[in-house]
Every structure is written in C-alpha cells, then in structure tokens.
A and B are shown apart, each in its own frame.
Chain A
Amino acid sequence: MLKVQSIKKKYLFPTETEILSDINFEMAEGEILAIMGPSGSGKSTLLHIIGSLETPSEGQILLHNQNIDSIPTSLYRQKHVGFVFQSFHLLEDYTAFENLLLPCKIARKSVKKGSESYERALLLIRSMGLMERMDYPAKLLSGGEKQRIAVARALMNDPSLLLADEPTGNLDAKNGRILSELLLRSSRQFGKSLILVTHDPILAAMCDRILHIHDGRIAC
C-alpha cells in the first residue's frame, strides 16, 4: 500500500545536515508499523514527509502506487492521511465535537445533523467513550481525552493511513496505555494502516512491525 523509496532529507541551514538518508520500506494494507529510534534520529521528519508536511530532498513515496507528489497537498492531507500529534493540536476554543467535524468542514462536506459526516463523528466519539464530553470546549478536556478526540479527528475523513507522532508522549502511563490500545484497536477496527513513532517499547511491541532508525538510516 505504501512504498517509501530512497528518501533523503537534508537541511542546508545553518549547516548542511542530512537528517534522513536512503530510507526504503513498504507497508501492507492495514499494517501497523512502529518507528523507534533515539531523539534526533529523523523519526518525526520521516513521518512528516509521509504526511506531506515536509518535502523530501530526494526519493519518492507511493501510496497505492501513486506518487504523493502528484496529488495536491491539501487533498492528500484531507483524504489520504490522518495525523495524531504528541501535543494533540486541537482548536482549544472549539468543542470536542466541533473539532471532530473540522476536517469534514475543510473538505466541504455537509456536517448537518443526520449527514454522513455528522453520524460518523457521533460513531467515533462514542467509540472513544467521550459522548458525555462532546460539547465541552477542548481546553477543558484532560490530556487523555484530548488525545482520544485527536485520534477520532484523524479518522474522520476515513483516510487509508494514520500517522501518529509519539501519541502517548504527553500522557501518564495509565492514559498512555488506554490511548495505545484505543489507537491500535481503532486502526484495526476501521482497517487503517498506522505508522507510529514512539519511544515506548511496550507500545511498539503491540505493533505488527518495528522499524528502527539511527542517524537517519534504517537500522534493521
């Protein structure tokens, strides 16, 4: 489903630094892949390149055999990938439910009561166990709740690939575990491929495959 081919990433300023060099791997449909490695090894950069938040210096990424460069960036982010960040990145003044509906609004989908998007948002928020929190402003939610909303938001536009950048990094052990289970379960339940950047070996062990990155290269 996903082919990462000869990806290189260099920063020219302040000094020329190679962050990623010759990254190659493939992922099957529905596969859950953990990327591990020390801080500064290029894990997040690789995830951002796969999510088109950054552009590679060399190489290409094929999603369903289509080079993602040929898809308009905003369309790719709207339809094909869903992001979960360590810092949640919800719109704080919006309610939990409004945050869920946001990707659909951006994609110009109807979010009226009874619409497909509305029903999907209800299904997702229910599956995250946050029905009673749906009208809470995001700023009033706990860290665990925020991250669950972030996971639900990533699934809203039904993308084929989920990208999670240290999703449990800002959570305590208990909430981190709950979130990890929820993320993996949701990904399996909705048949999504998942790339997970994590430092947590327990969480990595729950994934189908682990990719180790050291100094911008795949270690094994």
Chain B
Amino acid sequence: MFEFSIIRKYLVPRRKQLSVSLIALMSIVVISLVVWLLLLFLSVTEGIEKNWLGRLTALNAPVRIVPTDLYYHSYYYKIDSISQNSNYCPKSIHEKLVSLVSDPYDEEVDEAIPLQWPIALREQNGQLVDIVKKTFTTFDHLRTSTPSLIARDYEITGVMLRLNLLRPSLMGGEEQSFLSQVSYVSTFPKDAKNVHSLFTAPTVSDINLLLFKKKQRFYEILSHVDVQEITTNYSWSLPIDLIPEKGKFKGYRTAAAIVLSANGNEVYTKDRLKELKLPIRVQEKVVMKASIENESLLSAIKLEEVKLKVSANLQGNHLSGNLYFKDVELNKASAKAAFDSIPQITPLWAYTINNEAFLPSENSVIIPKNFRDNGVSIGDVGVFSFGSFGATSVQEQTLNIEVAGFYDPGLMVVGARPIFADNGIVQTISSSSSSIPLDPLLCNGIQIWFDDLSETNKIASTLQKKLEEEGVAPYWEIKTFYDYDFAKDLLLQFKSDRYLFTLIGIVILVVACTNIISLLLLLVHTKKKEIAILQVLGATKYQIAAIFGASGALLGIISSAIGTILGLITLNNLDALVKFLSFIQGQEAFNSAFYGSSLPNTVSQQAILLILIATPILSLVAGLIPATKACKFPPAQTLRTE
C-alpha cells in the first residue's frame, strides 16, 4: 500500500518539517493523556463500585426473598399463634423450615379458627402447603443451573448493645468503661460468598488485650499467633542471663533496684550487677525481636511460664537469650484467622475454614470495624439488652455476648451495618418482640448468594418463575441488590459518575482530536505539490483521502496505545502514586474511610473498549476533514503555482 509509505514519510519527525512534527507530537501527548486519565478514572470508579458491591452482596446477599403481607396474613403463618404445638407463637422462617409439622393445629386442643381467617392453601391430598419448605425446594432446582447458589434464612432485629471495656491500667491493675449503643443484630451469614473477605484479622492490640483478659487461655491464643517482636512494660526487670559477659551499661542505683539509663552516671558490668543482687530495671521500653519457644508453650501451665527467644540492643550491647512472658507485651505479631482444615485448637476469634466463616462460641458476635474507634477490642464482653412482653409489662432481658471479630462494612448506612450473631441469639431476641414487628419485610427473609453478580437479574427472574410454578409466588417478594433502599442511591451515584465522566472524557477526547485536524491541515498545505504529483501519476481521490484519513486514525491508535499502556502501568502502581500524592499534599490524598486501605481498581474493560474504538474513530473523522480538502486540489493549477 503506497499510502502507508507516504504516511510514514509524513508522520516520522523530521527537522525539515519541524512544525508538523511538533504538532504531531503534541497531538499524541494530549490524546494519550486524555486516554490515560479516562482509563484511570473509569478503572478506579469501577474498582470502588465492585469493591462496594462485593461488600454489599457479601453482607446482604445479591438476592433477598422477603415475605409479603399475604404471607403474614396467611393461615400458614397465623396458625402457630393459636396452636399449642407452636406454643401459641408465630414462627420465623427458620423455625418453619426446621419444624417437623407443617400444620400444628389440633382442633381438639386448640381454640376454633376465627371465621375471618383466610382459607388454608392445601395440596390435592388435603395437606397444608408448607410455603417455606416448598420455597427452599425451588433453590435445589436452581442449583442445577447455578451450582454456586447458597440460600439461607436471616433475621434482623434491634437491641441495645452494652459492652464492658476492661483494660489494663497504666498504674497496674485494671480499669473499665462501658459502651452502650442501639444496634441492629443479624444472623451471621457464615457460608455467604466472600463474607470472610470482610473480616479484619485480630490486631496486636487485640491479642495483647486477649492475653490480659483471658490469661488462663494463653495456649489457645498463642497457638495461632506468630510473634515477631515484643516490648517491655514499666515493671519489667532485665534477667541477668540476657546480659552479655563483656557488656557495659550506664545507669544509676536506687534503694530497690539498678536502673539502666543512658543518662546514668555509673557504669555497670555483668559481674557488678551480679554482685549487687538487685532487680535490674530499664528506664525506657525495650523492643526485642522475639519468637515463642514451642516446647515451653506446650508445657506451660500459666502465661508467665511461656518462654520467648529474644534478641535486642541496649545501650550498644547485644542482648540475647530466653525470656519468660512476664511484664512484656506483643509489639509485632500476626494472628491466624484463615485455615485450610478444622484447627485442632479453636481460636478465640472469628475464623474461616476454606472461605466458610465460624464463630468461636455461641455467644460470639462480629461487629462493624467502626466500633474499634470507640475502643472496642476482640474479647470484650457485654450484653444484648432487649424488651420482652410479659403478662403485664415489658421486661428487660439480656443475653451475654463476646466480641469475636470485626468486619469492614465499607460505605454502608447504619441500618446496613448490623452486628452479626449466632442464629440462636437473633431468634431469641426477635421471638421476644415478634408480636409487633415494625417492618416485617426487613426482619425476616431468605438471602441468596451466588458467584456471578452479573447473573442477578436472570437468577431473580428464574426464581420468580419457579415460585410461580410451585404456587407460592404471592407469598414472597424477590428483591435484588439494585432494589435495596440503602444501596439504591449509591448505585445510582456510581452509575451517573461513570456516565458523566465518560461523557466529559469523550468531549475532551474530541477536543484533543481537533488537534489532529490542525496538524493534518498544515500537512496538506505543505504537501500540496506532492498531492498534485500523486494525482498526475494516477492516484484516485480515495487514495489521497486515505493518506490523510489513515494518518489521523494512526495518530489516534498510537496515542490510545500509549495512553492505555501508561494507564495500565499507573494502575499497577496506584498505591505508590497515591502515597506520592499524599506526600505532596501533606495529607491523605484519598479518604480511607471511603476508599478503603488502598484505592481499589479494576482494569475497566468498558473503558479500554471505549478508548480502543472511540479514539481511532474520532481521529479518523478528524483526519477526514483535511483529507476532503486534499483530494479537491486541481493538480494542473497546483503544479503551476507551486
């Protein structure tokens, strides 16, 4: 194709055509920058949206089925309230599911069914249709086409959370404070997709507090902790064995101890310290590299018998040896919370086994991570306080609970940040107040998880069809995460942000591509004579137009390729870029409460597609304007005047 050889000659920078080369370079730089920015923004927006959607659907499930009014007014639901077999209490979905009888009514024992009650929905053989069980059967059918589907019932209820925050006192001993907060409590979605990814692992401070509060359970705690560094507290005394033979320390003497201090005016050797037979204190906290001696952990009866292998530097002397776990606390350590198989020793915090989440005990709860800001730590104990209807009055009841972990709810409204507790706890609370549910649609329902969120609508409509086939559809309302009130606004916000920026990006891209028009018009002007020669040699108008049109498209392709590559490199090093921006600004460039610990990003396929299609097309269109001009030159006249 002779057109390409001409394009190559025109676009390769030459000193002779400096202005053309400079404008070409500028066009490429500007378009690349726009492409880079567009890719970066759309990828980060998509990343944030995906991240948020991940959290939203992990906590609240992508599809929820909630009972309709018809369910609550059905014979199936109401019959429990007049049946002795159901203790005259309406049953939750979970209770209905595990109940052995579908129709608890016994006409010999129970009162007569009120006349205004709806007629019971019965099978052809006269048996009551068990709506809940039938609904769960439809999930089995759905699992054939969506094997990853998990369905479980949930309950949400409100409680007063009261936590007792017991902490070690700086002066020794302990001090305590209390935290009370009205909260929502929801069933812990232990097998929900990705729920494990929301857990935040226990921190060093959590482990230290656990060791303080549950000292006697040190073995269960330390078995799952990898200790790397410890620090001493004020009452720690330095064992003589750690001191090197030739070590020399500055310090001073008090009536009860030798205090090692860089400001001391006496020098102590190991021999001298042995002679004095006084406890050796260190004025500053000492940070030591440490690891637990496993044998001592197995044989220790109390925490103080656990040995640590330590090494440290004190006043230029190298300390090393073994140290008992006394008057020290962890400074750097990591706790294991994810296991491949059932751990031999159950951790004292929430943990996962192959992505399935577990609570350490029946009264364990997982709370949103913002409670950390209120000083709550793993191992803190307290109560759920709630009202229960007695014969004459509302009585306050409490259930003991213990914080077993934190989860990161991301950007959720308070109502969508419940405390997760064992099913038993939630049922106890909700059954005590279920006689007057404020919003029954939100209190009880079924959550459905699956892997591919893009299939949400398809799965919801398949489910609707199945429920209709089973004849139980009127009793349920299917809601996808697009319908959740607490998510709707944010989802719309993400969508409109994406559209808006794509629109702005395209406008900027169009403006950038107009540079190509100027460049090619200049090129057409300077190459007028060559165009006429090509026409004389028989080049068609299309061939001439193709040279300039393709030049524009080529500039677009080169620019979008450069912009895309730069964008991908930037996305791979986004954390470094954010750090750099934060450093320049002198403050956090992106709010971690909103974006998380690192700016999430997913290479936006949509952006890449847009860039790779729109940029060359826009550039081609930009190239066609000068191309039209070029092919209209009358060759004879041009050659005469040039």
Please state if B636 and A54 are interface contacts (CB–CB under 8 Å).
yes
1/0 contact string of B502-539 vs chain A (CB within 8 Å) = 00000000000000000000000000011011111111
Contact for B538 among A48, A54, A74, A94, CB less than 8 A = A74
Please state if B635 and A102 are interface contacts (CB–CB under 8 Å).
no
What residues of chain B lie closer than 8 Å to A102, measured between beta carbons? Answer: 2, 534, 537
Q: Is B395 an interface residue (CB 8 A)?
A: no
Please state if A106 and B538 are interface contacts (CB–CB under 8 Å).
yes
Please state if B530 and A53 are interface contacts (CB–CB under 8 Å).
no
Q: Is B543 an interface residue (CB 8 A)?
A: yes
Give the contact-size bracket for chain B. 20 to 34
- List B residues 539-596 near A (Cβ within 8 Å): 539-541, 543
Q: Is A89 an interface residue (CB 8 A)?
A: yes
Contact for B539 among A54, A89, A106, CB less than 8 A = A106
Closest to B14 in A: A93
Q: Is A177 an interface residue (CB 8 A)?
A: no
Contact for A53 among B2, B5, B636, CB less than 8 A = B636
Our count of residue pairs bridging A and B at CB distance below 8 angstroms stands at: 51
Q: Is A107 an interface residue (CB 8 A)?
A: yes
Q: Is A91 an interface residue (CB 8 A)?
A: yes
What residues of chain B lie closer than 8 Å to A90, measured between beta carbons? Answer: 533
Contact for B533 among A75, A76, A89, A107, CB less than 8 A = A89
What residues of chain B lie closer than 8 Å to A153, measured between beta carbons? Answer: 537
Please state if B635 and A106 are interface contacts (CB–CB under 8 Å).
no
Contact for B537 among A48, A75, A87, A103, CB less than 8 A = A103
Q: Is B120 an interface residue (CB 8 A)?
A: no
Q: Give CA–CA (A98, B541) in the complex, Å.
A: 21
Please state if B540 and A74 are interface contacts (CB–CB under 8 Å).
yes
What residues of chain A lie closer than 8 Å to B2, measured between beta carbons? Answer: 102, 105-106
Please state if A83 and B536 are interface contacts (CB–CB under 8 Å).
yes
1/0 contact string of A64-94 vs chain B (CB within 8 Å) = 0000000000111111000101010111011
Give the one of B9, B537, B540, B636 with max A CB within 10 A. B537
Closest to B530 in A: A91
- Give, as a whole number of angstroms, the nearest-CB distance from A149 to chain B: 13
What residues of chain B lie closer than 8 Å to A106, measured between beta carbons? Answer: 2, 534, 537-539, 543
What residues of chain B lie closer than 8 Å to A75, measured between beta carbons? Answer: 538
Q: Is B639 an interface residue (CB 8 A)?
A: yes
What residues of chain B lie closer than 8 Å to A87, measured between beta carbons? Answer: 639
- List B residues 591-642 near A (Cβ within 8 Å): 634-636, 639
Closest to B527 in A: A91
Please state if B636 and A48 are interface contacts (CB–CB under 8 Å).
yes
Please state if A89 and B540 are interface contacts (CB–CB under 8 Å).
no
Please state if A77 and B636 are interface contacts (CB–CB under 8 Å).
no
Closest to B533 in A: A89
Closest to B529 in A: A89
Please state if B538 and A78 are interface contacts (CB–CB under 8 Å).
yes
1/0 contact string of A45-68 vs chain B (CB within 8 Å) = 000100101100000000000000
- Give, as a whole number of angstroms, the nearest-CB distance from A34 to chain B: 21
What residues of chain B lie closer than 8 Å to A83, measured between beta carbons? Answer: 536-537
1/0 contact string of A179-198 vs chain B (CB within 8 Å) = 00000000000000000000
Give the one of B2, B540, B541, B634 with max A CB within 10 A. B2
- Give, as a whole number of angstroms, the nearest-CB distance from A84 to chain B: 11
Q: List 28 A-B contacts (CB under 8 A).
A: A51-B536, A53-B536, A53-B635, A53-B636, A74-B540, A77-B535, A77-B536, A78-B537, A78-B538, A79-B538, A85-B639, A87-B639, A89-B529, A89-B533, A89-B639, A90-B533, A91-B530, A91-B533, A93-B9, A102-B2, A102-B534, A103-B538, A106-B2, A106-B534, A106-B539, A106-B543, A107-B538, A157-B538
Q: Which 3 A-B pairs have the closest CB atoms?
A: A78-B538, A105-B2, A53-B636
Beyond known contacts A54-B636, A74-B535, A83-B537: 14 more, CB 8 A cutoff: A53-B635, A53-B636, A74-B541, A77-B535, A78-B538, A83-B536, A89-B536, A91-B530, A94-B9, A103-B538, A106-B537, A107-B538, A153-B537, A157-B538
* Contact surface of B with A, Cβ cutoff 8 Å: 2, 5, 9, 529-530, 532-541, 543, 634-636, 639
